[in-house]
Amino acid sequence: MNIGEKDTQAGANSRPPHFLHGQRRPRKLRITRLLLAIIPAGVMLFCLSTYLHRGSNCSTKSSAGESKPHAEHQLLSNGTHWFRPTLVLVSVDGFRADYLDRGVTPELLRLGQKGLRADYMIPSFPSLTFPNHYTIVTGLYPGSHGIVSNEFFDTQTNDTFFYKDPLKSIDSKWWGGEPIWVTAEKQGLRAGINMWPGSMATICGHKPSYVVPFSDNVEPRLKTQKVLEWLDLPFDKRPAFLATYMPEVDSTAHKLGPNDQKVNEAVRLVDSALGNLWSEIARRNLTNIVNLMVVSDHGMAEGQSGLNAIYIDDYIDTSQLQGIYGWPLGGLQVKDSADVGAMYATLKRASAGQPWDVYLRDDIPSRFHYTYKSRIAPIYVISRVPYYVTTRKESALYSLGKPMGVHGYDNMHPLMRATFVAVGPAFRSRTAQAPPTPRLFVEPHVNLTALGMPGSQISDITAMQDYLELLRSAVVSRPGAVATGHHVYDYLWGDGRRNEAELRNIRHPPFENVELYGLMAKILGVVPAPNNGTADFARWWLH
């Protein structure tokens, strides 16, 4: 029962019998009771006031001369200023994991040697920009947070989300879950967000203390400069969580393909900016306070000059569709639900021996965690790398026939692998103890390039069944490929028994990007919102 309920039920029937009978109480007794009521209330107000004012600049002086703030979060000093544990998150859109092996990223490799580098990070399905950027900051699969693609139709609201329409994309109705900047703000920390997808929306009633809307043609060095400007703010204005987004690598690869020399130049540009950022953090004596986490949302596959188009209008009457969503995949939003069964049957027959699979929404493999029914089309065509779903009219109208770089496919495909590099005081050294139960990986003994098939992290029996079904369908659709078996192996961690050169080159095991939210919450010292990550994941990565 809450206070309001108690007050409502109190009334004439709750008064003392002598008052009900018209007897006056002694004055001294009335005053005593009044004092007994006032004193506890005063104590409660004092405690509440003290709690609400935690974190303000007050009380003792530090040896450096700056007032030491009183706050519930941990406080650290660089010798002249007070800081809370700080995290800088940088996303480099489309930075495929193996770009780090091209010999053009000396700064990121140096950061990885000082801190951690994962072999790769597994994006969420579909491996597109908006779904994965929001997964990174919420720890939820797209099927849980609701940003299921870069564009989609919601049958409940009869409205369409389109990532390039800012007036529509900032509407809070689209954004489920709780991004890390909201978690931080709700728990007394400030956040500064520079062009991150979703950051302009009011989510859970909150926005970041500082937010910069997306703008084209802002160089990476200018974005890292904004991070440094925020780090240089006074304590009571300085954000503890900072994030910035860099699209240069992705946009260049889309235009020219991931293997073009211009992509390497874009990678070098980003690498230089990130190296400069860490150098400036070091110059401020903040390397024992600030943690830097560099990630990407997905990888990139090479297009094939228009030869990999799947013209869906060759198989079905597209006038029966409200729209096709989720490119390069095909979410077929059917106007009349009565047409779904026949359309699916037609496509299922047509898919035999083709580089695509078709599913009813409820039959999409469970390993994709793709379950937001009102936003996922009733029929989904999942194309294989590097094919994409379109129509002949659309291809001619929008010149979509020749994409040179494509992503959005099965999140387990090697070409979709994302990047993770981190450095800072929160992260364990390379000689950290390995997890007690190493994750197992299954590697098919087949020609993966011919099959378009990934090696897969297998977490449960359902995922194993889905994987084997994917392998079976891939082999059936590629008569020339032969599966010879599977090999299961433990992924090795650094264990302190290797020489220094070996330790510098150790890569940590792959992991899903839903784990990042819990990792970031742990670094910031905030209580995470419910998410799809693993509860004890952070203990093997952080001190």
CATH number where 391 lies: 3.30.1360.180
Q: Do 358 and 228 fall into the same domain?
A: no
Q: Do 317 and 290 fall into the same domain?
A: no
Q: Do 478 and 519 fall into the same domain?
A: no
What digits encode the pLDDT tens for the residues 313-360? 999 999 999 999 999 999 999 999 999 999 999 999 999 999 999 999
At residue 355, what is the residue type? P
16 falls within a domain: no
Q: Do 117 and 195 fall into the same domain?
A: yes
The Cα–Cα gap between 401 and 363 comes to 30
Angle value at C-alpha 210, between 206 and 215, nearest 5 degrees = 110
Q: What is the DSSP pairing of strand 191-194 with strand 241-246?
A: parallel
State residue 117 phi and psi, 5-degree precision: -135, 125
Q: Do 221 and 359 fall into the same domain?
A: no
Cα distances from 45 to residues 39, 42, 69, 72, 191, in angstroms, run 10, 5, 22, 19, 29
128 falls within a domain: yes
Which residue has 């590097």 as its token pair? 386
What digits encode the pLDDT tens for the residues 74-113? 898 888 899 999 999 999 999 999 999 999 999 999 999 9
Nearest CA to 180 among 456, 416, 487, 516? 516
77 falls within a domain: no
Nearest CA to 287 among 433, 516, 100, 83? 83
In 337-477, which residue ranges form alpha helices assigned H by DSSP? 340-350, 392-398, 448-451, 461-477
pLDDT of residue 47: 40
473 falls within a domain: yes
Q: Do 454 and 423 fall into the same domain?
A: no
Q: How many CA atoms lie within 13 A of 252 on its CB side?
A: 22
Cβ(312)–Cβ(318) below 8 Å: yes
Q: Do 207 and 317 fall into the same domain?
A: no
96 falls within a domain: yes
Q: How many CA atoms lie within 13 A of 534 on its CB side?
A: 12
72 falls within a domain: no
The Cα–Cα gap between 126 and 327 comes to 10
Q: Do 423 and 472 fall into the same domain?
A: no
143 falls within a domain: yes
Q: Do 142 and 251 fall into the same domain?
A: yes
Q: Do 271 and 202 fall into the same domain?
A: yes
Cβ(494)–Cβ(119) below 8 Å: no
Report the predicted TM-score, pTM, of the whole model to 2 decimal places. Answer: 0.77
Task: Indicate the burial class of 523 (C-beta count within 10 angstroms; 0-12, 13-18, 19 or more).
Answer: buried
In sequence order, the 6+-apart residues with CB closer than 8 A to the CB of 417 are 96, 97, 98, 120, 121, 122, 123, 299, 510
Q: Is the dihedral of CA 507, 138, 276, 416 positive or negative?
A: positive
Is 129 designated active site? yes
Could you say which of 86, 105, 129, 391 is catalytic? 129
Spell out, as residue ranges, where the chain has pLDDT lower than 50: 1-32, 34-35, 39-40, 42-71, 431-451, 453-462, 475-497
Cα distances from 217 to residues 118, 243, 281, 287, 406, in angstroms, run 30, 18, 25, 30, 21
Q: Do 335 and 456 fall into the same domain?
A: no
390 falls within a domain: yes
Q: What are 352's two structure tokens? A: 């035999």
Q: Do 397 and 466 fall into the same domain?
A: no
Q: What is the CATH number of the domain that holds 229?
A: 3.40.720.10
Looking at the structure of the chain, the number of domains it has is 3
pLDDT of residue 96: 99
Q: Write the DSSP assignment of 466-519 as a string of letters.
A: HHHHHHHHHHHH-TT-----EEEEEPP---S-S-HHHHHT--BPPEEGGGHHHH
What residues make up the domain containing 458?
A: 440-490
The Cα–Cα gap between 391 and 320 comes to 14
